[in-house]
Structure 1
């Protein structure tokens, strides 16, 4: 009777490992990784290796999940640089429309948008080149000022972010550009 439990748990180990690998959402993968660690600890306990089970439960599951969670949380963010007080009151609705659109698109890909303010345009461009931020958003100086909506110019140094945002954000709100910072540094 005891062998059936061992076989069931042993069958769940590769299944949960496959689910971790196939998971798209990193937060779901963390939860399944916790289940995988608990199953491994249970397996070790059933085979009489209590010390290994305790180590797996504490280090392999709890500590690893905590560290992975912190890493995923900090890496799943797009830092967008803006110049503070550059938009007028009339343009704030257009800017908010753009930011809401960016957040919607990024949320589909499990990313967060973090706005980082800079004092002037030179600091903003330097931060982009120093890779402190992933992109910039400024009023488009090349646009026609007679338009009812003031378009913005959004620049990103991360090609994947460019590929995600370009087709999904309205071109009437912003103009997207990809900046290859590796060429600039050479």
Structure 2
């Protein structure tokens, strides 16, 4: 009798594990849940008197399939990140890419078991073209929020537009300060503009990556604020 109840309990686990598998938002968690489903199914076959099927399910449905999924995720889980260098947002060193945006993206990749590969661009036009053509998956580097681009943007930090009337140009605040520091501009050359936000930009269409990134940005607001204080000290406006 106890054995019958145990068998019924394991059978009852199957729909729960199946539901758990499809509801996972993180790939690795979904793979683990799928492996647990396979093990539970093998126990059901064993209780039903089919040990050969149970062993096959355990080896193929749980172990082998889980292993292949992990290998597939690891090989395909590469995120191509295009950036415009801007201190202290994101910049290259001899061995790494560092800065506020680099730290945020590295944390995102780590949490979702992805590997980020950074690619440097020299102009915003080249970067956005690469994004639209699928050469990169995420664009960053002091990019300001702009409507009408058709690209998905994820704001994370307030800033201000600064206008350079003599060249009919607009800059973000950090780039304007960098040019003043380097002697390329004078303070009186600039006209303060409206408030805006720094953003990460993804492709034109919603995707699994965009959904993961949106969830990450929403659930890690406090840790992102801490990174802002670490790199900028709250001095972005």
- TM-score band by shorter chain is 0.5 to 0.7
Q: How many residues in Structure 1 have an aligned counterpart in Structure 2?
A: 165
TM-score (norm 1): 0.63
Question: Which one of the candidate residues 170, 176, 186 is aligned to 1:146?
Answer: 176
With over 3 angstroms needed to count, the CA separation of the structure-2 counterparts of 1:155 and 1:35, relative to structure 1, is closer
SS of the residue corresponding to residue 157 of structure 1 reads: coil
Question: Which one of the candidate residues 125, 128, 138 is aligned to 1:135?
Answer: 138
The structural deviation recorded for 1:99 is 1.7
Q: Which residue of 2 aligns with 1:101?
A: 104
Cα deviations by residue, 1:5-30 (Å, 9 ceiling, x for unpaired): 22222122222222222333332222
| Unaligned segments of structure 1, at least 5 residues | 174-186
Question: What is the 5 A alignment of 1:1-186?
Answer: 1=1, 2-74=3-75, 77-82=78-83, 91=87, 93-95=88-90, 96-104=99-107, 106=108, 110=112, 112=114, 114-118=116-120, 127-138=130-141, 142-143=170-171, 145-147=175-177, 155-157=201-203, 159-160=205-206, 161=210, 164=214
SS of the residue corresponding to residue 48 of structure 1 reads: coil
With over 3 angstroms needed to count, the CA separation of the structure-2 counterparts of 1:39 and 1:143, relative to structure 1, is same
State the alpha-carbon separation in 2 of the partners of residues 123 and 73 from structure 1: 29
SS of the residue corresponding to residue 132 of structure 1 reads: coil
State the alpha-carbon separation in 2 of the partners of residues 149 and 112 from structure 1: 35
TM-score (norm 2): 0.52
131-140 or 156-165, which deviates more: 156-165
SS of the residue corresponding to residue 171 of structure 2 reads: coil
Kept in 1, the 8 Å contact 2:101–2:141? The answer is no
| Unaligned segments of structure 2, at least 5 residues | 91-98, 144-168, 181-196, 229-234
Kept in 2, the 8 Å contact 1:20–1:33? The answer is yes
The structural deviation recorded for 1:98 is 2.2
SS of the residue corresponding to residue 34 of structure 2 reads: helix
With over 3 angstroms needed to count, the CA separation of the structure-2 counterparts of 1:120 and 1:98, relative to structure 1, is closer
With over 3 angstroms needed to count, the CA separation of the structure-2 counterparts of 1:69 and 1:149, relative to structure 1, is farther
